[in-house]
Amino acid sequence: MRLPILAIALFLCAPGATRAQDACPTPWRLEEVLRIGSPESADLIRRIYDLAIGPDSALYVGQVMVPAATVFSLDGRVLRQVGRAGQGPGDIQLAAFGVGWMGDTLWIADQHRIQLFTTNERVPDEVIEFALPMPEEGTRLTPGRMLADGTVLAGRRSITDWRVWVSAPSLALRRISRSGEILDTIARVEWSSDPVEYEDGPGRTWLAPHPLNDFPPVGLNENLTALTPDGSTVVQVARVREGSVPPTFDILAMSIGGDTLMQRTVEYEPREVTPAMERRLADGFAAAIVGDHISPSLRRPMSETMRERQRRAVRSAFRVPEYHPPVRQVVAGTDRTIWLLRELREDQVDVWEIYTSDGTLEGTVEIDQGRTSAVPWLPRLGIAIASRDEIWGTTLDELEVPYIHRYRVDRTCASPGMRSTGPRPREVWPGENLLIPRSRQAVIQGTIRDLLRTTGPVGRTDPGRVRWSPLVLRLGI
């Protein structure tokens, strides 16, 4: 009779047991409270790579081709820049591809290194640099992002064999020591880029990732994979089962040590790729390949006749699957929520689903304005930092001027009978330790005591501490 005791304890202790499990049927509303950027401003001049909020309540921003991290106050004022162009300690090579904090230490990732700054923003305490060839993946691994335990998540900023990389069925997400030793593989990233092979010139072909499998515009540059801002947990969408009945995909949360903290299977209804959507994607893909969306000075020299010939060749080679991938992007929230950008829609509205740390759908957000690129398949808002209370994201205007937006999330549910979502306790992943509040210990102890009178002893039990796992709940036994 052990199972009933554990089941009742699970119900009493579960973070979701005291709140409504049904998602609000109406989308949460966003209210813009801050916008940084303007055509006249020199503070934001290129597309945003990454955003982070530091312990000093300042916003740290990495931009394309800007060899520094720009620091803003949370009301949008420029405070300073960290870094400068160069190759030495304290210099930033090319751009700040990633920015973040590990305790009181600022880290900035450039093209080949991560630098750690604690007391002096001009002189790093440590420079982490390595280059590990991965010929089976067509890449060279360099320092990507800092993890919570002080190790490094490998980045793939150097592609050594394009065809191998773009054709790989999956790529390993590796944890690496600061000295460049591979420690373990946290997860496998299901790449499945479904590359488009097109004629790139007389007798020459080339491969490009399919637009329905493109990378997110900001943050961790991995397919359907995100890292929590504190560097402690990896969140993924994996194992899409389009052919199962019903079709499903999995949401996974993993510790940086590789342990599964949560796994939830989500059913979905496949959305067909219509002929109109296929034409829209083909035209956008062809325009991107020939460089219609970039400055003429950056395009490959080519006559307009040749450019139109290549557009036709790309359109001719372009194919789409029968159905859209169910998820386009993943964002790991600061409050352990999981944000999933769902399928590309005909009405061009981005629908984000928000899940709790145990994989329960809690709400949705719809975004019908803005853009992060001229291509039609990237999201309207590049969400970099998210929680139930606020969102920080990026856009580009028609002149390619970048903006940073801060939105307040209004979670009031407009449907009759649904209550407003109020303040919530700190969530934990189901695989983490959870201390039971003292106010509930007496209830649990009394329930177990009553059960033991009728079922007999099941062993020594300490209801004051509970360990969660995806399969078993142990009450100190």
Closest CA to 363 of 1, 34, 13, 23: 23
Task: Summarize pLDDT for 271-309 with one digit per residue, the tens.
Answer: 999 999 999 999 999 999 999 888 787 788 888 898 899
Q: Which two tokens stand for residue 469?
A: 């796992």
Residue in the structure block whose two tokens are 């880029």:
193
Q: Say what percent of the chain tops pLDDT 70.
A: 83
* pTM for the structure as a whole: 0.84
Closest CA to 356 of 307, 439, 425: 425
22 in Cβ contact with 417 (< 8 Å):
no
Give the mean pLDDT of 242-254. 96
- Does the pLDDT of residue 367 top 90, yes or no? yes
Q: Which two tokens stand for residue 115?
A: 């630098």
- Does the pLDDT of residue 135 top 70, yes or no? yes
Closest CA to 38 of 409, 381, 405: 405
Alpha-helical segments (H) within 122-174:
162-167
- Does the pLDDT of residue 191 top 80, yes or no? no
- Does the pLDDT of residue 416 top 90, yes or no? no
- Does 41 or 217 have the greater pLDDT score? 217
Give the mean pLDDT of 210-229. 92
- Does 314 or 451 have the greater pLDDT score? 314
- Does 414 or 86 have the greater pLDDT score? 86
- Does the pLDDT of residue 18 top 70, yes or no? no
The span from the CA of 44 to the CA of 86, in Å, is 20
Q: Which two tokens stand for residue 214?
A: 């493109």
| Coil, strand or helix at 450 | helix
Give the mean pLDDT of 393-401. 93
Closest CA to 338 of 266, 400, 248, 418: 266
The mean predicted confidence, pLDDT, of the chain is: 85
Phi then psi for 470, rounded to 5 degrees?
-60, -25
- Would residue 257 be called left, alpha or beta, if left means φ above 0 and alpha means ψ between -120 and 50 degrees? alpha
The span from the CA of 432 to the CA of 357, in Å, is 11
Closest CA to 403 of 27, 24, 138, 43: 43
Q: Which residues are CB-contacts of 39 (< 8 A; sequence separation ≥ 6)?
A: 397, 399, 401
Please tell me the predicted confidence (pLDDT) of residue 412.
92
**Which DSSP symbol is given to 6?**
H
Residue in the structure block whose two tokens are 């093209």:
111
Q: Categorize the per-residue pLDDT at 426 as very low, low, confident or very high, splitting at 50, 70 and 90.
A: low
What pairs with residue 391 in β-bridges? 386, 407
280 in Cβ contact with 315 (< 8 Å):
no
- Does the pLDDT of residue 446 top 60, yes or no? no
- Domains plus CATH for the chain? 1-19+424-477 (no CATH), 30-410 (2.120.10.30)
Q: Which of 19-33, 84-98, 150-164, 220-234 has the lowest mean pLDDT?
A: 19-33
DSSP-assigned states of every residue in 61-120: EEETT-SSEEEEETTS-EEEEE-EESSSTTEESS---EEEEETTEEEEE-SSEEEEESS-
Task: Summarize pLDDT for 100-123 with one digit per residue, the tens.
Answer: 999 999 999 999 999 999 999 999
